[in-house]
Amino acid sequence: MNLLDDAVSRLERWEFLDRVAEPVRKAAHALVKPRAVRNALSGIPTGHPLHAVLTDVPIGAWSMAALLDVKALLEGPGGRGTEAAADLLVAAGLAAAVPTAAAGLNDWSDTYGPTERVGLVHAAANTAALGLYAASLAARRAGRRPAGRALGLAGLGVLTVGGYLGGHLTYSKGVKVSHTAYHEGPLDWEDLLGEDELEGGAPKVVQLGEIPLLVMRDGGRIVALDNICTHAGGPLNEGTFEGGCVTCPWHGSQFRLADGAPVLGPASAPQPSYETRVRDGRVQVRAKK
Protein backbone atom coordinates (compact mmCIF):
# COMPACT_ATOMS: atom_id res chain seq x y z
CA MET A 1 0.00 0.00 0.00
CA ASN A 2 1.46 3.39 -0.96
CA LEU A 3 1.46 6.44 1.29
CA LEU A 4 -1.66 7.99 -0.24
CA ASP A 5 -3.66 4.77 0.07
CA ASP A 6 -2.51 4.40 3.67
CA ALA A 7 -3.55 7.98 4.47
CA VAL A 8 -7.03 7.49 3.01
CA SER A 9 -7.42 4.14 4.82
CA ARG A 10 -6.66 5.91 8.09
CA LEU A 11 -9.16 8.62 7.21
CA GLU A 12 -11.84 5.98 6.65
CA ARG A 13 -11.41 4.86 10.28
CA TRP A 14 -11.88 8.32 11.84
CA GLU A 15 -15.16 7.54 13.57
CA PHE A 16 -15.31 10.93 15.29
CA LEU A 17 -16.29 12.36 11.89
CA ASP A 18 -19.62 10.55 12.22
CA ARG A 19 -20.71 13.05 14.85
CA VAL A 20 -20.23 15.85 12.33
CA ALA A 21 -21.72 13.94 9.42
CA GLU A 22 -25.08 13.11 10.97
CA PRO A 23 -26.43 16.67 11.38
CA VAL A 24 -25.04 17.61 7.96
CA ARG A 25 -26.82 14.62 6.44
CA LYS A 26 -30.14 15.61 8.01
CA ALA A 27 -29.79 19.14 6.66
CA ALA A 28 -28.84 17.80 3.21
CA HIS A 29 -31.86 15.50 3.08
CA ALA A 30 -34.13 18.42 3.96
CA LEU A 31 -32.62 20.54 1.18
CA VAL A 32 -32.95 17.87 -1.53
CA LYS A 33 -36.33 16.55 -0.43
CA PRO A 34 -38.39 18.23 -3.21
CA ARG A 35 -38.70 15.76 -6.10
CA ALA A 36 -37.53 18.25 -8.75
CA VAL A 37 -34.43 19.15 -6.73
CA ARG A 38 -33.58 15.53 -5.93
CA ASN A 39 -33.95 14.41 -9.54
CA ALA A 40 -31.99 17.32 -11.01
CA LEU A 41 -29.05 16.96 -8.61
CA SER A 42 -29.02 13.17 -9.02
CA GLY A 43 -28.73 13.51 -12.80
CA ILE A 44 -31.97 11.82 -13.84
CA PRO A 45 -32.56 14.22 -16.79
CA THR A 46 -29.21 13.18 -18.32
CA GLY A 47 -29.15 9.55 -17.20
CA HIS A 48 -25.73 10.02 -15.57
CA PRO A 49 -24.56 11.43 -12.21
CA LEU A 50 -24.45 15.23 -12.37
CA HIS A 51 -21.66 15.92 -9.88
CA ALA A 52 -18.90 14.24 -11.88
CA VAL A 53 -19.75 16.29 -14.97
CA LEU A 54 -19.90 19.61 -13.14
CA THR A 55 -16.54 19.20 -11.38
CA ASP A 56 -14.74 19.64 -14.69
CA VAL A 57 -15.82 23.28 -14.91
CA PRO A 58 -14.37 24.76 -11.68
CA ILE A 59 -11.29 22.50 -11.80
CA GLY A 60 -10.64 23.45 -15.41
CA ALA A 61 -11.27 27.16 -14.86
CA TRP A 62 -9.07 27.42 -11.78
CA SER A 63 -6.27 25.35 -13.33
CA MET A 64 -6.19 27.61 -16.37
CA ALA A 65 -6.30 30.68 -14.12
CA ALA A 66 -3.14 29.44 -12.38
CA LEU A 67 -1.36 29.03 -15.73
CA LEU A 68 -2.41 32.52 -16.81
CA ASP A 69 -1.25 33.97 -13.50
CA VAL A 70 2.20 32.52 -14.12
CA LYS A 71 2.15 33.84 -17.69
CA ALA A 72 1.12 37.32 -16.52
CA LEU A 73 3.87 37.30 -13.92
CA LEU A 74 6.46 36.50 -16.60
CA GLU A 75 5.06 39.15 -18.95
CA GLY A 76 5.35 41.90 -16.34
CA PRO A 77 3.43 45.19 -16.79
CA GLY A 78 2.44 44.22 -20.31
CA GLY A 79 0.36 41.28 -19.18
CA ARG A 80 -2.85 43.09 -18.26
CA GLY A 81 -4.90 41.19 -20.81
CA THR A 82 -3.67 37.92 -19.37
CA GLU A 83 -4.48 39.13 -15.85
CA ALA A 84 -8.03 39.99 -16.88
CA ALA A 85 -8.49 36.53 -18.39
CA ALA A 86 -7.18 34.90 -15.21
CA ASP A 87 -9.60 36.94 -13.11
CA LEU A 88 -12.49 35.93 -15.34
CA LEU A 89 -11.61 32.25 -14.96
CA VAL A 90 -11.45 32.55 -11.19
CA ALA A 91 -14.92 34.12 -11.18
CA ALA A 92 -16.27 31.46 -13.57
CA GLY A 93 -14.92 28.71 -11.33
CA LEU A 94 -16.63 30.26 -8.31
CA ALA A 95 -19.96 30.42 -10.14
CA ALA A 96 -19.69 26.82 -11.32
CA ALA A 97 -18.65 25.56 -7.88
CA VAL A 98 -22.08 26.29 -6.36
CA PRO A 99 -24.16 23.77 -8.39
CA THR A 100 -21.21 21.37 -8.30
CA ALA A 101 -21.20 21.42 -4.51
CA ALA A 102 -24.99 21.01 -4.40
CA ALA A 103 -24.84 17.90 -6.58
CA GLY A 104 -22.00 16.50 -4.49
CA LEU A 105 -23.91 17.11 -1.27
CA ASN A 106 -26.88 15.22 -2.73
CA ASP A 107 -24.68 12.23 -3.60
CA TRP A 108 -22.87 12.24 -0.25
CA SER A 109 -26.10 12.34 1.77
CA ASP A 110 -26.77 8.67 0.96
CA THR A 111 -23.35 7.35 2.01
CA TYR A 112 -22.41 5.78 5.34
CA GLY A 113 -19.39 4.60 7.31
CA PRO A 114 -15.93 4.88 5.70
CA THR A 115 -17.34 6.35 2.48
CA GLU A 116 -19.24 8.98 4.41
CA ARG A 117 -16.08 10.01 6.30
CA VAL A 118 -13.97 10.38 3.19
CA GLY A 119 -16.79 12.31 1.54
CA LEU A 120 -17.00 14.71 4.47
CA VAL A 121 -13.28 15.54 4.25
CA HIS A 122 -13.58 15.77 0.45
CA ALA A 123 -16.33 18.35 0.88
CA ALA A 124 -14.35 20.24 3.56
CA ALA A 125 -11.29 20.47 1.29
CA ASN A 126 -13.37 21.72 -1.63
CA THR A 127 -15.14 24.24 0.60
CA ALA A 128 -11.77 25.52 1.79
CA ALA A 129 -10.63 25.82 -1.84
CA LEU A 130 -13.81 27.75 -2.64
CA GLY A 131 -13.09 30.15 0.21
CA LEU A 132 -9.51 30.69 -0.95
CA TYR A 133 -10.64 31.43 -4.49
CA ALA A 134 -13.29 33.85 -3.24
CA ALA A 135 -10.60 35.65 -1.27
CA SER A 136 -8.35 35.55 -4.33
CA LEU A 137 -10.99 37.23 -6.48
CA ALA A 138 -11.57 39.89 -3.83
CA ALA A 139 -7.83 40.61 -3.64
CA ARG A 140 -7.54 40.85 -7.41
CA ARG A 141 -10.40 43.32 -7.62
CA ALA A 142 -8.87 45.39 -4.83
CA GLY A 143 -5.65 45.67 -6.82
CA ARG A 144 -3.67 43.32 -4.56
CA ARG A 145 -2.66 41.03 -7.37
CA PRO A 146 0.30 39.26 -5.69
CA ALA A 147 -1.99 38.27 -2.81
CA GLY A 148 -4.67 37.21 -5.29
CA ARG A 149 -2.21 34.97 -7.11
CA ALA A 150 -0.95 33.43 -3.86
CA LEU A 151 -4.47 32.73 -2.63
CA GLY A 152 -5.37 31.18 -5.98
CA LEU A 153 -2.37 28.86 -5.94
CA ALA A 154 -3.19 27.88 -2.36
CA GLY A 155 -6.75 27.16 -3.47
CA LEU A 156 -5.49 24.97 -6.31
CA GLY A 157 -3.37 22.98 -3.88
CA VAL A 158 -6.30 22.34 -1.55
CA LEU A 159 -8.51 21.56 -4.54
CA THR A 160 -6.04 18.87 -5.62
CA VAL A 161 -6.45 17.15 -2.25
CA GLY A 162 -10.23 17.31 -2.62
CA GLY A 163 -10.00 15.97 -6.16
CA TYR A 164 -7.89 13.00 -5.05
CA LEU A 165 -10.45 12.11 -2.40
CA GLY A 166 -13.25 12.51 -4.95
CA GLY A 167 -11.49 10.04 -7.23
CA HIS A 168 -11.17 7.61 -4.33
CA LEU A 169 -14.91 7.89 -3.65
CA THR A 170 -15.76 7.08 -7.26
CA TYR A 171 -13.17 4.53 -8.28
CA SER A 172 -12.44 2.79 -4.97
CA LYS A 173 -15.76 3.15 -3.16
CA GLY A 174 -18.06 3.11 -6.19
CA VAL A 175 -20.17 6.13 -5.19
CA LYS A 176 -22.74 6.71 -7.97
CA VAL A 177 -21.34 3.81 -10.02
CA SER A 178 -24.19 1.62 -11.32
CA HIS A 179 -24.35 -1.63 -9.37
CA THR A 180 -25.69 -3.43 -12.44
CA ALA A 181 -22.92 -2.25 -14.76
CA TYR A 182 -21.78 -5.78 -15.54
CA HIS A 183 -25.17 -7.45 -15.63
CA GLU A 184 -25.73 -8.50 -19.23
CA GLY A 185 -28.82 -10.57 -19.89
CA PRO A 186 -29.32 -13.13 -22.66
CA LEU A 187 -30.09 -12.00 -26.19
CA ASP A 188 -32.19 -15.12 -26.82
CA TRP A 189 -35.31 -16.15 -24.93
CA GLU A 190 -34.62 -18.10 -21.74
CA ASP A 191 -37.08 -19.98 -19.56
CA LEU A 192 -37.56 -18.38 -16.13
CA LEU A 193 -40.58 -19.70 -14.20
CA GLY A 194 -44.12 -20.94 -14.53
CA GLU A 195 -46.77 -18.32 -15.21
CA ASP A 196 -48.90 -19.74 -12.40
CA GLU A 197 -46.13 -18.83 -9.92
CA LEU A 198 -47.04 -15.18 -10.39
CA GLU A 199 -50.63 -15.57 -9.27
CA GLY A 200 -51.58 -13.24 -6.43
CA GLY A 201 -49.43 -10.35 -7.66
CA ALA A 202 -46.53 -10.84 -5.24
CA PRO A 203 -43.11 -10.11 -6.75
CA LYS A 204 -40.76 -13.03 -7.30
CA VAL A 205 -36.97 -13.03 -7.35
CA VAL A 206 -35.64 -15.54 -9.89
CA GLN A 207 -32.00 -16.14 -10.78
CA LEU A 208 -31.14 -15.75 -14.44
CA GLY A 209 -27.61 -17.09 -14.35
CA GLU A 210 -25.85 -14.73 -11.93
CA ILE A 211 -28.48 -11.99 -12.31
CA PRO A 212 -31.36 -11.82 -9.80
CA LEU A 213 -34.53 -10.70 -11.58
CA LEU A 214 -37.59 -9.12 -10.04
CA VAL A 215 -40.58 -10.63 -11.87
CA MET A 216 -44.22 -9.70 -11.26
CA ARG A 217 -47.50 -8.76 -12.85
CA ASP A 218 -48.04 -5.06 -13.43
CA GLY A 219 -51.65 -4.69 -14.45
CA GLY A 220 -52.21 -7.11 -17.29
CA ARG A 221 -48.58 -7.68 -18.22
CA ILE A 222 -45.57 -9.46 -16.79
CA VAL A 223 -42.53 -7.28 -16.12
CA ALA A 224 -38.95 -8.20 -15.25
CA LEU A 225 -36.28 -5.90 -13.85
CA ASP A 226 -32.83 -6.46 -12.39
CA ASN A 227 -33.48 -6.82 -8.65
CA ILE A 228 -30.27 -5.00 -7.66
CA CYS A 229 -30.81 -1.23 -7.40
CA THR A 230 -28.43 0.61 -9.70
CA HIS A 231 -27.76 3.27 -7.06
CA ALA A 232 -26.34 1.27 -4.14
CA GLY A 233 -27.32 -2.34 -4.69
CA GLY A 234 -30.49 -2.45 -2.60
CA PRO A 235 -32.93 -5.38 -3.04
CA LEU A 236 -35.91 -4.01 -4.95
CA ASN A 237 -38.17 -6.94 -4.04
CA GLU A 238 -38.11 -5.70 -0.44
CA GLY A 239 -39.27 -2.24 -1.49
CA THR A 240 -42.76 -0.84 -2.03
CA PHE A 241 -44.85 -1.10 -5.19
CA GLU A 242 -47.29 1.62 -6.14
CA GLY A 243 -48.49 3.40 -9.25
CA GLY A 244 -46.56 1.18 -11.63
CA CYS A 245 -43.28 1.87 -9.81
CA VAL A 246 -40.99 0.17 -7.32
CA THR A 247 -39.22 2.12 -4.57
CA CYS A 248 -35.89 0.84 -3.26
CA PRO A 249 -35.98 0.21 0.51
CA TRP A 250 -32.48 1.58 1.08
CA HIS A 251 -32.43 5.15 -0.24
CA GLY A 252 -35.83 5.65 -1.86
CA SER A 253 -34.82 5.49 -5.52
CA GLN A 254 -37.91 4.86 -7.61
CA PHE A 255 -38.13 3.08 -10.97
CA ARG A 256 -40.92 2.42 -13.48
CA LEU A 257 -41.77 -1.26 -13.63
CA ALA A 258 -42.57 -1.03 -17.34
CA ASP A 259 -39.08 -0.03 -18.49
CA GLY A 260 -36.85 0.52 -15.42
CA ALA A 261 -36.59 4.28 -15.96
CA PRO A 262 -35.73 6.22 -12.76
CA VAL A 263 -38.46 8.61 -11.66
CA LEU A 264 -37.01 9.63 -8.29
CA GLY A 265 -33.36 9.91 -7.23
CA PRO A 266 -30.79 9.36 -5.89
CA ALA A 267 -30.47 6.76 -8.69
CA SER A 268 -29.69 8.25 -12.09
CA ALA A 269 -29.02 5.08 -14.10
CA PRO A 270 -32.06 3.15 -15.34
CA GLN A 271 -32.81 -0.27 -13.92
CA PRO A 272 -32.03 -3.00 -16.50
CA SER A 273 -35.39 -4.15 -17.88
CA TYR A 274 -36.15 -7.35 -19.79
CA GLU A 275 -38.61 -8.36 -22.47
CA THR A 276 -41.06 -11.05 -21.37
CA ARG A 277 -43.36 -13.52 -23.07
CA VAL A 278 -45.36 -16.62 -22.11
CA ARG A 279 -44.94 -19.91 -23.99
CA ASP A 280 -46.75 -23.08 -22.92
CA GLY A 281 -47.42 -21.65 -19.47
CA ARG A 282 -43.78 -20.67 -18.93
CA VAL A 283 -42.47 -17.10 -18.58
CA GLN A 284 -39.47 -16.41 -20.80
CA VAL A 285 -37.21 -13.39 -20.77
CA ARG A 286 -34.44 -11.79 -22.82
CA ALA A 287 -32.47 -8.57 -22.74
CA LYS A 288 -34.15 -5.70 -24.55
CA LYS A 289 -32.75 -5.13 -28.02
189-229 pLDDT per residue, tens: 999 999 999 988 889 999 999 999 999 999 889 999 999 99
149-199 pLDDT per residue, tens: 999 999 999 999 999 999 999 999 999 999 999 999 999 999 999 999 998
271-288 pLDDT per residue, tens: 999 999 999 999 999 998
User: What DSSP designation does 270 have?
Assistant: P
Q: How confident is the model at residue 78 (pLDDT cuts 50, 70, 90)?
A: low
pLDDT of residue 211: 96
pLDDT of residue 200: 81
Asked if the model's pLDDT at residue 265 lies above 90, the reply is yes
pLDDT of residue 3: 87
Beta carbons of 12 and 121 less than 8 angstroms apart: no
pLDDT of residue 4: 87
Using CA atoms, how far apart are residues 224 and 212, in angstroms rounded to an integer?
Answer: 10
Beta carbons of 7 and 118 less than 8 angstroms apart: no
88-107 pLDDT per residue, tens: 999 999 999 999 999 999 99
Tell me the DSSP string of 231-269. Answer: TT--BGGGSEEETTEEE-TTT--EEETTT--EEESS--S
Q: How confident is the model at residue 1 (pLDDT cuts 50, 70, 90)?
A: low
pLDDT of residue 85: 95
pLDDT of residue 63: 97
pLDDT of residue 286: 96
